[in-house]
Amino acid sequence: MDFDDTPDEAAWRAEVRAFLTAHRDEHAADPRAWQALLYDAGFVGVTWPADAGGRGGTPMQQAIVDQETARLGLPALINLIGIGMCGPTVIVHGSDDQKRRYLKRLLRADDLWCQLFSEPAAGSDLAALRTRAVRDGNGGWRVTGQKVWTTLAHLADYGILLTRTNADVPKHRGLTMFVVDMKAPGVTVRPLRQMNGESHFNEVFFDDVAIPDTERLGEPGQGWTVALTTLMNERLSLGGGGTGVGAKPETVARHVAERIGGLSPDRQVLARQQLGRGYVAALGARYTGYRQLSRISHGELPGPEASAGKLSGTRSARDLADLAVRVLGEDAAVAGGTWQNLQAVLPGMAIAGGSDQVLRNIIGERVLGLPAEPRVDKGAPA
Ligand SMILES: Cc1cc2nc3c(=O)[nH]c(=O)nc-3n(C[C@H](O)[C@H](O)[C@H](O)COP(=O)(O)OP(=O)(O)OC[C@H]3O[C@@H](n4cnc5c(N)ncnc54)[C@H](O)[C@@H]3O)c2cc1C
pLDDT tier, 179 (very low <50, low <70, confident <90, very high otherwise): very high
Half-sphere exposure of 326 (CA within 13 A, CB side): 17
pLDDT of 60 strictly over 90: no
Contacts of 324 (CB under 8 A, 6+ apart): 247, 252, 255, 256, 339, 342, 343
Work out the angle at residue 11's Cα, subtended by the Cα atoms of residues 5 and 12, and round it to the nearest 5 degrees. Answer: 90
Q: Where are the domains of the chain?
A: 7-78, 113-221, 244-367
Atom of ligand 1 nearest to the CA of 152: 8
pLDDT attached to residue 335: 57
The whole-number pLDDT of residue 289 equals 81
247: confidence class by pLDDT, cuts 50, 70, 90: confident
Residue 13 to residues 6, 27, 70, 92, 241, Cα–Cα distance (Å): 10, 20, 13, 29, 15
Question: What value, to the nearest 5°, has the Cα angle with vertex 364 and ends 361 and 369?
Answer: 135
**Average pLDDT estimate for 365-370:** 92
Q: DSSP readout, 81-145? A: HIIIIIHHHHHHHS-HHHHHHHHHHHHTTSS-EEEE--BTTBSTTGGG---EEEE-SSS-EEEEE
DSSP output for 322-358: HHHHHTTGGGHHHH-HHHHHHHHHHHHHTTTTS-HHH
Q: Residue 106: its pLDDT value, please?
A: 98
Helices and strands, number each (H, E), in the chain: 13, 8
- Whole-number pLDDT of residue 331: 66
CA distance linking residue 208 with residue 28, whole number of Å = 39
Can you tell me the mean pLDDT for 114-135? Answer: 97
DSSP 363: I
pLDDT of residue 238: 58
Q: What does the pLDDT read at residue 235?
A: 67
For residue 183, the CA-to-ligand 1 centroid distance in Å is: 26
DSSP string covering 270-288: HHHHHHHHHHHHHHHHHHH
Q: For position 288, what pLDDT does the model report?
A: 83
> Is residue 336's pLDDT more than 90?
no
Ligand 1 centroid to 122 CA: how many Å? 8
Strand 113-116 relative to strand 158-164, pairing = parallel
Is 149 near ligand 1, meaning CB less than 6 Å away? yes
Distance CA 57, CA 32 (A): 23
Q: Indicate whether 146 pLDDT > 90.
A: yes
For atom 24 of ligand 1, the residue with the nearest CA is 123
Q: Are 328 and 276 in contact (CB under 8 A)?
A: no
Closest Cα to atom 14 of ligand 1: 149
- Tell me the mean pLDDT in the region 251-270: 90
pLDDT in tens, 299-322: 776 677 778 888 888 888 999 998
Average pLDDT over residues 100-128: 97
Q: List, in order, residues 6 or more apart from 248 with CB less than 8 Å away.
A: none
Q: Which residues are catalytic?
A: 234
Q: Are 281 and 312 in contact (CB under 8 A)?
A: yes
Q: Once rounded to an integer, what is the mean pLDDT over residues 93-101?
A: 97
| Nearest CA residue ID for atom 26, ligand 1 | 123
Q: Give yes or no for residue 230 CB within 6 A of ligand 1.
A: no
Q: What is the pLDDT of residue 360?
A: 93
> Which residue has better confidence, 328 or 342?
342
Average pLDDT taken over every residue of the chain = 90
Q: How many Å lie between the centroid of ligand 1 and the Cα of residue 354?
A: 6
Atom number in ligand 1 closest to CA 194: 1
> In the prediction, which pLDDT does 309 show?
82
Domain 244-367 CATH superfamily: Butyryl-CoA Dehydrogenase, subunit A, domain 3 (1.20.140.10)
When pLDDT is cut at 50, 70 and 90, the band that residue 51 belongs to is very high
pLDDT of residue 378: 79
From the CB of 141, is ligand 1 less than 6 Å away?
Answer: no
Q: What is the CATH number of domain 113-221?
A: 2.40.110.10
Give residue 26's pLDDT.
Answer: 92
Report d(CA 285, CA 367) in Å as an integer.
16
pLDDT one-digit tens code per residue, 193-244? 998 888 999 999 999 999 999 999 999 999 999 999 888 777 666 555 556 6
Whether ligand 1 lies within 6 angstroms of the CB of 357 is answered as yes
Is the minimum distance from the CB of 43 to ligand 1 under 6 angstroms?
Answer: no
Q: How far apart are the first and last CA of the chain?
A: 44
Lowest-confidence pick of 37-41, 101-105, 370-374: 370-374
Mean pLDDT of 153-173: 97
